[in-house]
Amino acid sequence: MLKVVGGFIAGACFFGVLVYNFMGSMMFREVQSPFGVEETVARIQQNIQNTGNGWALSGLRNPGKAVEADGGNTLPVLLIEACSTKYSGPILKDDSVRFLSNLMPCKISVYKKNDGKTYIGMMNAGFMGGMFGSMVGETMSHVAADQAKFIQFDPSKPAPAMIKGTPGAGASGGSGAGAAGGC
Amino acid sequence: MSSRFRMTLPVLTTGMVLTTLTAFAMPAKQDAAIAPQAVQQTASTSKSKDASTADHSKFKELQKNFKTGPEVTQACLICHTEAAKQVQHTKHWTWESVDPKTGQKRGKKNIINNYCTSPISNEKDCMACHAGYGWKDSSFDFSVEKNVDCLVCHDTTGTYRKLPGDAGRPVYKRVEFPKGSGKFVEPADLKKVAQSIGRPSRSNCGSCHFFGAGANGAKHGDLDSSLQHPGKYLDVHMDEKGLNFTCVTCHATSSHQISGSRYNVAAAVSGPAHIRGKTDESPASCQSCHGDKPHHGFMAILNQHTEKVACQTCHIPEYARDDIGTELSWDWSQATTMGPDGNPISRKDSAGRRAFDSKKGAWVWDSYVIPEYRWFNGVSTYKVIGDKIDPSKTVQINEVGGSPNDPGSRIWPTKVHRGKQPYDKVNSILTVQHTAGEDETALWHNYDWQKAIGAGMKAAGLKYSGEYGFVNTEMTWPITHMVAPEEDALSCAQCHSKNGRLKGIEGVYMPSRDSNRLLDMAGWTLVLLSLIGIMIHGGLRIYTSKKKGQNK
């Protein structure tokens, strides 16, 4: 009996350690981009606008600017914000999951690392959505499918211009960000 | 007695260690004490305009309505009698530099770079950045003093502009620039400018050095217009709200000779900081103010690096640290490629920087660029006009000197600009091409390489076989501006790791990057033996204690 309980506890501990170690990479994804930071951003923005399903850009933030204003340096990092009312609407209408609004709008970060290469970071919407019931799970599975389209690039097409600022809200990353994006 | 000894021994040992460390730390503190004083004094000179003893608006000689630049210069020379002669001995006037070690003549007049290539036959455009008036071709008389342009360096109004196409003359009439853009440049009020002169500001130097190769930030990588009003993050010395250094704070000048140049880089200065009254051979170096032991306290261990690593390597972790960015490559072979309708086209990249132009070819830009590191002793040997090349290899526009065995070398951060540019296939030399202008042979007018190279080579006095091709080239630039705050310097692990910043640097042992198989094996064997010893010892203790228990 003692052996069974001990084995169960050891198994649970092993599983806990496993989950603890891999949780981060399960919740978020990181992929390398073949382009520079600005071109990656521009191509993702273009993809978002072409994806349909109500997707619209709601802003482009540069969190590094605040660090610079404080006298420090960061390697470039840009946050693309996009939203689709088709997906955000049902979640925002349901009191039990409305707290998930703090994950809106959907963000994709593009950044350079010390190896000089550009990377794309995003939430694993499919995995995360599954934690909050069937309605959120299904909605987020659609978001995940669209997210995959956002980062599909066609190098044969010329680089589009990066859309700076917030469509319909004036300044980059302003407090009004999101109005035009539908969230 | 025994317990007393046990307490006294560690105390004594700790005391000895601390005393030794303090003794080592003391000299560093003494060196460092000089540095802030020098820095403060130099910083205060940047405000010298307010402290000037002369109000030039009160000078009779400057109360005229000047019509031309040379008229202003003549007025300046009434008081500053030797100024023009001094300028005429500088690179800013001759566009020539002589290597003091090899005697090789370099400078824009003698080399073909992999940006705009050469000013020869393009003087009317290029001389917008000459500190003079009227250099339009090889007939320019370098001895005429009134042709020295005082204002381009000393204007404080920000209204004095020289545009490409007028051989270094300032804007005298309202002109549309660039042509067809709908933007206009107003002529400067020369009287007002002459009365408002002062020490060169960042904008004065930057009007050329920020815009080299025809675009903001294109050439150097560590110089662009963001340095006109820099924040602390961009350059800790130039920080507008902090030390507010201008260029000439470091590039201290004597008789108009500006110290510090990429042609003669002070790559490995040693010794303490500069002391007033003592001649400083390299005022435009970090050591000039900071000495070669700038770290103190528990960071003093970093001073061991200064014999092998340039300050810039750690303290400029990336260059072009702004949205402007810098040009990484220029492909001339794509020039003359027209749009679908046969007309010239231009295209910008995602960040709005030039990416393609039928006149000039294609460019690649980036910002926050990780430098390429190499040994450097301050001396570069340049390919000069007419030098033979091997087109089967990438041609080095400048061969960077230095090696790990040379005590005058340090590991430096550099920008390497890659180019693809025309060369004479038969004579194996880089070609000079006539690009700028409105005449029939100008590349940017007729899009004909053959005519452009023919005219350029003729102007340069070189033979041209009539056959041209394109060759890959590299040009290396030491990085020395855009010094980050100390908190943003490279961390140890960024170099001391297998795939760190200095992974390609040879000739120096770096812990964590380098390893010796035998030494590692011996170390791990010791660890393993220690573990086995501990296990045996522990096992025996357990065994004997159990046995004792059984006996009881």
- For chain B, the domains span 46-268+310-514, 517-547
For B227-239, write each residue's pLDDT tens digit: 999 999 999 999 9
* Contact between B485 and A161 using a beta-carbon 8 Å cutoff: no
Taking Cα atoms as reference points, which of B251, B304, B265 lies closest to residue B401? Answer: B265
CB of B352 within 8 Å of a chain A CB? The answer is yes
Mean pLDDT of B79-101: 94
Taking Cα atoms as reference points, which of A132, A128, A136, A125 lies closest to residue A91? Answer: A136
Q: Which residue has the tokens 């705009």?
A: B116
Using 50, 70 and 90 to split pLDDT, how confident is the model at B129?
very high
Using 50, 70 and 90 to split pLDDT, how confident is the model at B550?
confident
> Which of A39-53, B24-38, B113-127 is predicted least confidently?
B24-38
CA distance B206 to B222: 12
Asked if the model's pLDDT at residue B200 lies above 60, the reply is yes
For B435, the 3-state DSSP assignment is coil
Tell me the chain B residues in contact with residue A69 when contact means C-beta distances shorter than 8 Å.
Answer: 231
Residues B335, B424 contacting (CB under 8 angstroms): no
Asked if the model's pLDDT at residue A102 lies above 60, the reply is yes
Chain B closest-CA separation from residue A91 CA (Å): 34
Mean pLDDT of B103-112: 92
Residues B349, A39 contacting (CB under 8 angstroms): yes
Helices A85-93 and A133-150 cross at an angle (nearest 10°) of: 160
Using 50, 70 and 90 to split pLDDT, how confident is the model at A180?
very low
* Contact between A116 and B370 using a beta-carbon 8 Å cutoff: yes
Residues B145, B84 contacting (CB under 8 angstroms): yes
* Contact between B366 and A76 using a beta-carbon 8 Å cutoff: no
* Contact between A71 and B352 using a beta-carbon 8 Å cutoff: no
* Contact between B355 and A159 using a beta-carbon 8 Å cutoff: yes
CB of B240 within 8 Å of a chain A CB? The answer is no
CA distance A111 to A32: 10
For B72, the 3-state DSSP assignment is helix
The partner residues of B185 in beta bridges, in order of sequence, read B175
Tell me the chain B residues in contact with residue A36 when contact means C-beta distances shorter than 8 Å.
Answer: 350, 365-366
CA distance A136 to B521: 55
Distance of CA A48 to the CA centre of its chain: 12
For B269-292, write each residue's pLDDT tens digit: 888 888 777 777 778 899 999 999
Mean pLDDT of B298-311: 94
Q: Which of residues A65 and B33 earns the better pLDDT score?
A: A65
Mean pLDDT of B200-221: 96
* Contact between A114 and B494 using a beta-carbon 8 Å cutoff: yes
CA distance B387 to B389: 6
Predicted pLDDT of residue B133: 98
Q: Is the peptide bond before B178 cis (omega within 30 degrees of 0)?
A: yes
Tell me the chain A residues in contact with residue B239 when contact means C-beta distances shorter than 8 Å.
Answer: 71
**DSSP conformation class of B463:** -
CA distance B328 to B354: 12
Predicted pLDDT of residue B276: 75
For B251, the 3-state DSSP assignment is coil
Chain A closest-CA separation from residue B290 CA (Å): 21
Q: Judged by CB atoms within 8 Å, which residues 141-160 of A form the interface with B? A: 158-160
Q: Which two tokens stand for residue B321?
A: 């640290």
Using CB atoms, pick whichever of A38, A68, A76 lies closest to residue B231.
A68
Mean pLDDT of B64-73: 97
For B287, the 3-state DSSP assignment is helix
Tell me the chain B residues in contact with residue A71 when contact means C-beta distances shorter than 8 Å.
Answer: 231-233, 239, 485
The partner residues of B411 in beta bridges, in order of sequence, read B309, B375
**Amino acid at residue number B391:** P
CA distance B459 to B239: 44
* Contact between A38 and B234 using a beta-carbon 8 Å cutoff: no
Tell me the chain B residues in contact with residue A68 when contact means C-beta distances shorter than 8 Å.
Answer: 231, 233-234
* Contact between A73 and B494 using a beta-carbon 8 Å cutoff: no
Give the phi and the psi of residue B18 in degrees, each rounded to 5: -65, -40
CB of A162 within 8 Å of a chain B CB? The answer is yes
Using CB atoms, pick whichever of B349, B485, B501 lies closest to residue A71.
B485
* Contact between B368 and A160 using a beta-carbon 8 Å cutoff: no
Mean pLDDT of A115-120: 96
CA distance B125 to B164: 4
CA distance B463 to B471: 18
**Which of B348, B350, B365 is the best mutation test for A, with the most CBs of A within 10 A?**
B350
CB of B426 within 8 Å of a chain A CB? The answer is no
For B5-37, write each residue's pLDDT tens digit: 444 444 444 444 444 443 333 333 333 333 333
Residues B171, B68 contacting (CB under 8 angstroms): no
CA distance B360 to B362: 7
For B169, the 3-state DSSP assignment is coil
CA distance B159 to B163: 12
Chain B closest-CA separation from residue A124 CA (Å): 27
Asked if the model's pLDDT at residue B46 lies above 50, the reply is no
* Contact between A39 and B350 using a beta-carbon 8 Å cutoff: yes
Chain A closest-CA separation from residue B237 CA (Å): 12
Predicted pLDDT of residue B118: 97
> Which parts of chain A are beta strand (E)?
28-33, 55-61, 77-84, 106-112, 118-123
Predicted pLDDT of residue B274: 81
> Which of A9-18, A33-42, A155-164, B138-147 is predicted least confidently?
A9-18
CB of A121 within 8 Å of a chain B CB? The answer is no
Predicted pLDDT of residue B282: 79
For B153-197, write each residue's pLDDT tens digit: 999 999 999 999 999 999 999 999 988 899 999 999 999 999 999
Mean pLDDT (chain B) is 90
CA distance B169 to B154: 15
Using 50, 70 and 90 to split pLDDT, how confident is the model at A171?
very low
Asked if the model's pLDDT at residue B3 lies above 70, the reply is no
Using CB atoms, pick whichever of B232, B239, B350 lies closest to residue A160.
B350
CB of A112 within 8 Å of a chain B CB? The answer is yes
CB of A71 within 8 Å of a chain B CB? The answer is yes
What dihedral do alpha carbons B188, B191, B192, B197 form, nearest 10°?
A: 100
Residues whose CB is less than 8 angstroms from the CB of residue B541 and which lie 6 or more positions away in sequence, other chains included: none
CB of B424 within 8 Å of a chain A CB? The answer is no
Asked if the model's pLDDT at residue A152 lies above 60, the reply is yes
CB of A76 within 8 Å of a chain B CB? The answer is yes
Distance of CA B96 to the CA centre of its chain: 18
Residues whose CB is less than 8 angstroms from the CB of residue A128 and which lie 6 or more positions away in sequence, other chains included: A27, A103, A140
Asked if the model's pLDDT at residue B378 lies above 60, the reply is yes
Measure Cα distances from A171 to A57, A76, A163, A174, B379 in Å: 14, 19, 12, 5, 48
CA distance B507 to B530: 34
Mean pLDDT of A76-81: 97
Mean pLDDT of B139-166: 97
Using CB atoms, pick whichever of B321, B365, B366 lies closest to residue A73.
B321
Give the nearest chain A residue to B352 (CA atoms): A161
Predicted pLDDT of residue B101: 78
Domains of chain A, start order: 26-183 (3.30.310.70)
Asked if the model's pLDDT at residue A97 lies above 50, the reply is yes
User: Is pTM, for the whole model, over 0.90?
Assistant: no
CB of B346 within 8 Å of a chain A CB? The answer is no
Q: Judged by CB atoms within 8 Å, which residues 8-47 of A form the interface with B? A: 36-39, 41-43
CA distance B132 to B149: 4
* Contact between B369 and A42 using a beta-carbon 8 Å cutoff: no
Using 50, 70 and 90 to split pLDDT, how confident is the model at B492?
very high
Predicted pLDDT of residue B265: 85
Measure Cα distances from B232 to A61, A112, B223, B290 in Å: 21, 21, 15, 18
Tell me the chain A residues in contact with residue B365 when contact means C-beta distances shorter than 8 Å.
Answer: 36
Predicted pLDDT of residue A3: 82
Question: 3-state SS of chain A: helix, strand, coil percent to 5?
Answer: 50, 20, 30
CB of A138 within 8 Å of a chain B CB? The answer is no
For B415-461, write each residue's pLDDT tens digit: 999 999 999 999 999 999 999 999 999 999 999 999 999 999 999 99
Give the nearest chain B residue to A36 (CA atoms): B366
* Contact between B232 and A160 using a beta-carbon 8 Å cutoff: no
pLDDT more than 70, % of chain B: 91
Give the nearest chain A residue to B482 (CA atoms): A73
Using CB atoms, pick whichever of A69, A73, A76 lies closest to residue B488.
A73
pLDDT more than 90, % of chain B: 81
Chain A closest-CA separation from residue B230 CA (Å): 10
CB pairs under 8 A between A and B: 58
* Contact between B232 and A71 using a beta-carbon 8 Å cutoff: yes
Predicted pLDDT of residue B36: 34
Tell me the chain B residues in contact with residue A162 when contact means C-beta distances shorter than 8 Å.
Answer: 350-352
Predicted pLDDT of residue A166: 58
Tell me the chain A residues in contact with residue B491 when contact means C-beta distances shorter than 8 Å.
Answer: none
Asked if the model's pLDDT at residue B39 lies above 50, the reply is no
Predicted pLDDT of residue B50: 59
